[in-house]
């Protein structure tokens, strides 16, 4: 018998009370329990046999964490973390208690949201070129008399490509700056990735107070209205997966 760890949690009241809340959670038939030291604990479930990490099990695991996050301040543990005994988990909690507590305090009463900003890449580039006055499709005809024209044309094309990339990056930076300013007002913290793919120009995650949820949604609605050529996709609230910086030893 092994123990599958779902999450680490902050125990605000007594362990008995926390266990009662856990028993009231709709976590199907998992028979979850809390293994704790002082104010931190691990929510675990019994597990027999080998864990085959297929998509269905991963989704089931994620759903359990979501249910638990509605009741507790927690740090989700990556799917597939098994330990062999209660003693091993207590040892793990003990060795890492300070880091766990710091991470838990950081995410307490906060939600995570995800934001993807997508675009029609060609249309966006055309629009940026038009607004900047950058000449992309110049004729090479003037170089035909020059024996080195093929190299010059290649170089010119590369330069234009580079300038176009710069234009797009500057545009993305501008959007990120505006989003950052807007969510700072809400007291949210953010992590951005830009140019994740040709179509996904921004992939961001936010951590914000639970009572700021509606304001966050309204903020993104305003951005969608302003940038009609972009598509803003907000997902959440999520447990704070992206704001855990913890590798347990």
> Minimum Å distance from CB 78 to other proteins?
4
Select 142 or 199, whichever has its Cβ closest to other proteins: 199
Select 138 or 235, whichever has its Cβ closest to other proteins: 235
Cβ atoms of 234 and 114 within 8 Å: the answer is yes
Considering only CA atoms, which of 107, 105, 115 is closest in space to residue 207?
107
Select 58 or 123, whichever has its Cβ closest to other proteins: 58
> Minimum Å distance from CB 53 to other proteins?
4
**Residues whose CB is less than 8 angstroms from the CB of residue 244 and which lie 6 or more positions away in sequence, other chains included:** 75, 76, 103, 107
- Taking the C-alpha atoms of residue 149 and residue 187, their distance in angstroms, rounded to an integer, is 56
Applying CB under 8 A, which residues contact other proteins? 2, 5, 7-8, 51-55, 58-59, 61-62, 65, 75-85, 88, 91-92, 103, 114, 118, 197, 199-200, 214, 217, 220-221, 224, 232-236, 238-239, 241-242, 244, 246-249
Select 90 or 134, whichever has its Cβ closest to other proteins: 90
Considering only CA atoms, which of 72, 68, 94, 69 is closest in space to residue 12?
72
> Minimum Å distance from CB 29 to other proteins?
20
Helix 149-185 vs helix 213-226: crossing angle, to nearest 10 = 150
């Amino acid at each position: 018998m092994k123990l599958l760890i779902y999450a680490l949690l902050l125990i605000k009241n007594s362990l008995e009370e926390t266990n009662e809340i856990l028993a009231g959670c709709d976590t199907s038939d998992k028979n979850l329990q809390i293994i704790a030291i002082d104010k931190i604990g691990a929510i675990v479930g019994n597990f027999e046999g080998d864990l085959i990490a297929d998509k269905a099990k991963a989704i089931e695991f994620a759903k359990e964490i979501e249910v638990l996050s509605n009741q507790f301040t927690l740090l989700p543990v990556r799917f597939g973390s098994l330990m062999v005994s209660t003693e091993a988990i207590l040892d793990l909690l003990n060795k890492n208690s300070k880091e766990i507590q710091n991470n838990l305090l950081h995410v307490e009463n906060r939600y995570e949201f995800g934001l993807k900003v997508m675009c029609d890449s060609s249309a966006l580039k055309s629009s940026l070129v038009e607004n900047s006055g950058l000449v992309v499709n110049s004729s090479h005809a003037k170089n035909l008399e020059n024996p080195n024209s093929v190299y010059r044309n290649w170089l010119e094309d590369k330069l234009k490509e580079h300038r176009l990339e710069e234009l797009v990056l500057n545009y993305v930076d501008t959007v990120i700056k505006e989003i950052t300013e807007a969510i700072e007002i809400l007291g949210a913290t953010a992590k951005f990735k830009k140019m994740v793919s040709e179509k996904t120009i921004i992939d961001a995650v936010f951590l914000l107070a639970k009572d700021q949820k509606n304001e966050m949604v309204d903020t993104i609605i305003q951005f969608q209205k302003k940038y009609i050529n972009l598509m803003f996709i907000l997902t959440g609230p999520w447990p704070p997966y992206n704001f855990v910086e913890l590798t347990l030893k």
